[in-house]
Amino acid sequence: MASGNDSDLDNNFYARWDPYSSGESDFEGFDIDDIPPDVPSRPSFRIDQSINDRENAQDIQFGWSREDSPPTIAPFTGTPGLTVELPDDCTELDFCALLFDDDMWDILVTETNRYAQNRINTSSLRPFSRLRNWTGI
């Protein structure tokens, strides 16, 4: 059972931190002294860039540079808007079909089946693995 003293502490705590409280003091933030000493701090580390800062002949060949320069943005010269015909009552699926055509779905199916078959052939499967029941798409 809580003593009267504990109840007073609870009431003071809630009155102090309750945003709907009519307490007279407002919270003004934390100080560094409010953080307990046993809280681990973020580790600090330094990355040695000396190895990465050397010029690489291949980087230079491909136009890379260590100097910051703004990108060159070519002006847009196309006609804005859709360049395909869509029905007046089109749905989200119609727009999706513009991005994901039948060729893309064929590639997705082929590669999914290839990945599953490769995984089945090259790994030791657990006795109740779902891959043991795999059927190609």
pLDDT tens digits for range 33-81: 776 777 666 666 565 555 555 667 777 788 787 777 788 899 999 989 8
Cα–Cα distance list, 47 to 42, 55, 56, 114 (Å): 16, 18, 19, 41
The DSSP-derived string for 76-114 is P-S--S--S---TT--HHHHHHHHS-HHHHHHHHHHHHH
Q: Locate the DSSP E strands across the chain.
A: none
Nearest residue to 13 via CA among 27, 34, 29: 27
Which residues, 6 or more positions from 111, have their beta carbon under 8 angstroms from its beta carbon? Answer: none
The C-alpha atoms of residue 112 and residue 101 are separated, in whole angstroms, by 17
Task: Check if the beta carbon of residue 137 is closer than 8 Å to that of residue 113.
Answer: yes
Which residue would you say has higher pLDDT here, 12 or 36?
A: 36
For residue 38, the SS3 value is coil
Across 55-66, b (16+ Cβ under 10 Å) vs e yields: eeeeeeeeeeee
15 versus 62: the higher-pLDDT residue is 62
Predicted structure pTM score? 0.39
How would you class 116 by CB atoms within 10 Å of its CB: exposed for 0-12, middle for 13-18, buried for 19 or more? middle
For the stretch 107-133, pLDDT in tens is 999 999 999 998 888 888 888 888 888
Ranges of beta strands (E only) in 21-88 are: none
pLDDT at 91: 92
Q: Is the pLDDT of residue 1 over 50?
A: no
